[in-house]
Each structure stands twice: as C-alpha cells, then as structure tokens.
Amino acid sequence: MLTRIDHIGIACFDLDKTVEFYRATYGFEVFHSEVNEEQGVREAMLKINETSDGGASYLQLLEPTREDSAVGKWLAKNGEGVHHIAFGTADVDGDSEAIRGKGVRVLYDEPRKGSMGSRITFLHPKDCHGVLTELVTAAPPSETDH
C-alpha cells in the first residue's frame, strides 16, 4: 500500500546551483547527498516534512553524471523541471507486482538501489497519464547512513 508522497524528483543542469537556489529561496537544507552510478545521477535530498506513516517527504535534486543516463537524456529533451514523483510503501516488491498485474508496465524486473539505501522501481509514464512514477521502500533506520 502506498502511504506517502516520498519525494519529487527534479532534474537540473547544475546540482550545486540548484541546491543553493532552494536554500536561499526557501531555507531548505541538504539532508543527504550521494552519487548513484547505476542511475547515472548525482543527487541531493532536501527533507521537507515528516509523514503520518513514519516516513518523510523530500525534494530530490538530480544532476546527470553522464549524457546517456535516463535523466541526462530527459534533460536534453525537456530542460530543467519535475522528472518524476515517488510514493512510499513498506512493500515495493508486493506493490510493484500487484500494479504489474493491473497492466501497468513496471520498468525493472526487481527493485533496484535508490537514495539512502532504499529499494525502488519505476512505472512507465505512458501507463500513468504522463507521470513517471517511482515506488520506494525506505531502508530500515539502522541501515540509513546519511
């Protein structure tokens, strides 16, 4: 069951400048940053609020590490903006299989590594009214290293 807006993924050309925009304009601070080589992104997570399911909602700022990554190609086509939205669940495996069973294309056979030790998958935007949609199960707190 999807129980929160986990994050909004925002693609940008320059992560440092974009982080500075969010800090200077709104006071949002970087909670965590990492490079995800599999996804081909350098990213910063800005924690905005905690959520009623015991999780939190973040902005995820994404700069591609290579032009041929999914985010790199998306940026070249669309320019900066909202790249995807993500819902949090305690069971990304079960939920993604259930959603696949409803005829929505799930992009990975098995969930992959996301931010902060999470496990993630994506749903095809053409099956989701134009919205690239991610499902996330956060790492247990003890495994979170930020």
Catalytically active residues are 7, 43, 60, 84, 134
Distance CA 3, CA 146 (A): 23
DSSP state of 68: T
Q: Are 122 and 104 in contact (CB under 8 A)?
A: no
By the rule CB under 8 A, 33 interacts with its own copies: no
Work out how close the CB of 15 gets to its own copies at its nearest, in angstroms, rounded to a whole number: 10
**Residue 13, C-beta contacts closer than 8 angstroms, at least 6 positions apart:** 63, 75, 80
Work out how close the CB of 120 gets to its own copies at its nearest, in angstroms, rounded to a whole number: 16
Q: What does R_g of the chain's alpha carbons equal in angstroms?
A: 15
* Residue whose CB is less far from its own copies, 27 or 141: 27
By the rule CB under 8 A, 85 interacts with its own copies: yes
Distance CA 60, CA 47 (A): 9
By the rule CB under 8 A, 30 interacts with its own copies: no
Q: What are the residues binding its own copies (CB under 8 A)?
A: 1-5, 8, 10, 12, 18, 21, 24-28, 48-53, 57, 59, 79-82, 85, 87, 99, 102, 104, 125, 128-131
